[in-house]
Structure 1
Amino acid sequence: MAKSPTDVVQAAFRCYRSQDREAALALYAEDFSFTSPQDDHLDKEAFFERCFPTADRFVEQRMLHVVPADEELVLVHYEYELTTGDRYRNVEAITVRDGLVREVQVFFGGKVGARG
């Protein structure tokens, strides 16, 4: 039975946190694209070289919402704590087609608990 886009996204996050690169590679399409405020349309190779190995910065990552927006798009809202003790929240818009992650767009949130 095929996995839902939400299942694929949750599996990708688990692979990232556990740093299971081999299992993660199988979840991403060859034409994958990653964009964030710090990265502009990285391809699969650049993403796995530059972004994937960064899980050790996190003490904790909690999924707050994992919501299908349509049949391909999943919105993920999560909170994480860095090894510095700072906490943040981000949102990711993740496109999954044919059981593979095709695109990730990350939108950085502010520090949790920060006063403006």
Structure 2
Amino acid sequence: MNGSGSGASHPATRWEIIQVGHGGWRVCDSSLSESDGSRLVAYVDRNVTGSFEVLWLRNPRPARSRYRKLADLLADLDALIAEPTPARPRSARPNEIPHFPPRG
């Protein structure tokens, strides 16, 4: 993450950070093969204030999309994969959105 342009794995996790240009990174799941499209987890850009804006592409997906440090982003990802989550097939219906009658 120091401008070398090469990928670096986050210690003790499966996340790989790959620099793409000046101030941009890809977060990849190194536990998946290079040919697996779901390997790409997020794109990260440093904005003018120095914070990091995250575009999440797949789960695990923390609720936050802005971080002060990349290490905080990786810590959130680590925490999410450490939590057991109920298995839900991709074909399952999404959560229902409550519908209300029009105001009259």
Bigger proportion of residues as helix: 1
Q: Which of the two has higher C-alpha Rg?
A: 2
Asked if Structure 1 and Structure 2 have the same fold, meaning a TM-score greater than 0.5 normalized by the shorter chain, the answer is no
Q: TM-score range by the shorter chain?
A: 0.3 to 0.5
User: Larger RCO: Structure 1 or Structure 2 (Cα < 8 Å, ≥ 6 residues apart)?
Assistant: 1
More strand by share: 1
Q: TM-score, normalised by structure 2?
A: 0.33
- TM score, norm. by length of structure 1: 0.31
